[in-house]
Structure 1
Amino acid sequence: MLDTNLWSSIGDEEATAEFNAEMAARGVAVVTPPSILIEVARLPVAAARQRIITALTTGHRVRLRTEAALEAAEIIAEAKRLRPHWLRRMPDTGRTASLDTYWTKKLWREAAEDSTRIHEYQVETYHRPTDYLVAKQKEQRKAILETDFNVRPLTAIMVKSEPDTPEEYLDGWSGEPVEAWRIESWHVYRYNLFTVGGRAALTREDTTRADWVGAYLDLRIMRSDTADFGRFWTQDVEVTRMPRNWLRWAVRFVQSTQKIGPGNPADEQHSAYLPDCDVFVSADARYITALRQVRADAPFEFAKPLQSSGDRSVPVTQRIAEALDSA
């Protein structure tokens, strides 16, 4: 799996044929997650954007499902194991099939033909959630620096309730120390499945997570016992069965220990696909450093992060080959 910065170089250098030949000679399969395509689609210069999309879509590529589907699959699997009464009697497989077709086929075809509509939609909708996430990371970084907080190992980072902890944070949680990723994941999904999922018909908010989870789990049953939903996250789920959800938290947290950049949310999004490949190559030294820290502490295996040279005077295929040779 390649980071967006390398796909940009392949497109700019019009080096797709050379890159494909090098990967074929090595017997390497190239996986392409939708998050990379979406990040490319936000680029403002149409001609440059289209060259990169051509590189992404030309040659043998293994297109991955959207991270929302993959993360939801972890929750659904844990619900089957721990909360079988949450399961819908008749899963909405038609809905998920339609979503999968869009994210693995239709979106890519449209982008290859003309990415204008996708670009306009992404520009319109991207900044609000991204600005929010970046602002939160800046707050967290400030707190880490002020308290000289020890952030390693990541598996030892715990959260406990305080006297001013809102009651909604104690709904199913005793307040005793639990791993930080559990609390954050719990509230992300409670907001998306219960709050947004329950009002989206009126507000037209993004219901991506509710769509994927709700195709197999009955959201009404889940909403009827919010304390049980809290126990599911804070006590019962196993981290090794939810690697993508843990990775999203871990990468976001480690990013807060570094200089905060506007590309952090996209990098965090890409991290959800790291269980789907053997190596991930990027020219972004800060991102690779973060991934190496996360990988050293992770309670499961995922792709080895490899840093390539960012020297654009060197052909991109050579830079990628040298990174692979270093593995």
Structure 2
Amino acid sequence: MGLKKATDMRILLDTNIWRYVVDHDALGAVRQAARKSRHEIVVAPAVVYEALRTGRSSLRDSLVSATTLPCWKRLMPEAFSEAQEIKAEVRRLHSDWLRWREDLTRYRRLQYDWTRSRGGFWDRARYDTAREAQLIDSLQVLDAARVETREVREYALSMPAQWRGVPLGAVLASPAHPAPGWNGNPVELWRVQAHSHFERALDRPGHPYADWLEGEVNLIMMKLHPRERTRFWFHEVDRMRMPRHWLRSAFEFQQQFHKITDGTPVDGQIGTYLVDVDLMLSADRNFVRFAERCRREAPFFVGRSALVPGGPPAIDALLAELAKPA
């Protein structure tokens, strides 16, 4: 039996840090420092997805090769973790939505594809990069997210400036149209957004939520009960049990008041992993600002985020974190 290294701090790197590591040929130094460290570098699938979308193939291949090394701690995709939160709340609040007979065949196959040491997603991305990049592009998920982000930004331009400073937990909203099951009073913004996101997922064949839920949750049964579904999201689920949904909404709320870039939706994805790590390093000032505000105002644990300088100093900052004693 092999011995597992004791880990004191889990460190998540933003995509821009990986870019500096690759650009300045520092991967060997980072690997060596990580081996000596009691801390652990973790990789979010959202970072690998962003690397796969890189336009220049030589840079894409280098970024994917760096982020998919088996020595890093690999996380599950955010859709898996968000679906786990949904499933747990369904089990707690609406056992009538659970399947009488579970069929976990597909769930286990997908989970194994993400967790296996050889032959799964991480190997496909690493050794068949062009094909995996083509598949990611064909899904057009990020394109849709970018359109939605820009629409939200246009709406935010008409909002009073004081909205920026409202505590994240105090931001209330109402659905755009009356929804059966809603009591008519404004609810926390994250509830409205999570409900909307879930409704779109139910209507989209092959959505990742369905992949991770349908073996235990009867999604057809859920679709037949819109009133109960709205009540579930607006009035029943516990925010302490839905941290990733809360974080996604908190990031989107803050992002709408700032300039939108093609990477904005990805920042929201990466932000949901802050409940899984102790430290996130990024050279993106706004991203760190948003993340730290979430850490201060969230009602649950959120890992710390630190801004590092761009270029070679970013590598020095990473090596310094890895060298810190336990």
> Above 0.5 in TM-score?
yes
When residues 45 and 104 of structure 1 are mapped into structure 2, their CA distance, relative to the original with a 3 A threshold, is: farther
Instruction: Compute the displacement of 1:214 (Å).
Output: 1.7
SS of residue in 1 equivalent to 2:301: coil
Instruction: Compute the displacement of 1:109 (Å).
Output: 0.5
Q: Which residue of 1 aligns with 2:75?
A: 64
SS of residue in 2 equivalent to 1:306: strand
When residues 18 and 150 of structure 1 are mapped into structure 2, their CA distance, relative to the original with a 3 A threshold, is: closer
When residues 166 and 152 of structure 1 are mapped into structure 2, their CA distance, relative to the original with a 3 A threshold, is: closer
Q: Which residue of 2 aligns with 1:299?
A: 299
Residue pair 1:292, 1:305 contacting (<8 A) in 2 also: yes
Q: Tell me the distance in 2 between the aligned counterparts of 1:236 and 1:55.
A: 43
SS of residue in 1 equivalent to 2:305: strand
Residue pair 1:239, 1:246 contacting (<8 A) in 2 also: yes
Q: How do 1:226-265 and structure 2 match up within 5 A?
A: 226-265=226-265
Q: Which residue of 2 aligns with 1:9?
A: 20
Percentage of pairs with the same residue: 29
Q: Tell me the distance in 2 between the aligned counterparts of 1:111 and 1:318.
A: 28
Which of 188, 194, 197 does residue 188 from structure 1 map onto?
197
How much is the aligned-residue C-alpha RMSD, in angstroms? 2.1
Q: Which residue of 2 aligns with 1:178?
A: 187
Report whether the alignment pairs 1:152 with 2:152. no
Paired residue total? 310
Q: Tell me the distance in 1 between the aligned counterparts of 2:53 and 2:124.
A: 15
Instruction: Compute the displacement of 1:209 (Å).
Output: 1.5
Gaps of 5+ in 2: 1-11
Instruction: Compute the displacement of 1:135 (Å).
Output: 1.5
Larger RCO (CA within 8 A; separation ≥ 6): 2
Q: How do 1:92-103 and structure 2 match up within 5 A?
A: 92-103=103-114
Q: Which residue of 2 aligns with 1:320?
A: 318
Q: Tell me the distance in 1 between the aligned counterparts of 2:100 and 2:58.
A: 49
- State which drifts further: 84-93 or 227-236: 84-93
Could you tell me which amino acid in structure 2 is paired with residue 12 of structure 1? D
Could you tell me which amino acid in structure 2 is paired with residue 172 of structure 1? G
Greater per-residue helix proportion: 1
Q: How do 1:1-327 and structure 2 match up within 5 A?
A: 1-58=12-69, 60-105=71-116, 106-124=120-138, 125-126=140-141, 128-144=143-159, 146=160, 148-160=162-174, 165-167=176-178, 170-193=179-202, 195-196=203-204, 200=205, 206-310=206-310, 312-314=311-313, 316-322=314-320
Q: Tell me the distance in 2 between the aligned counterparts of 1:58 and 1:219.
A: 36
Q: Tell me the distance in 2 between the aligned counterparts of 1:160 and 1:127.
A: 26
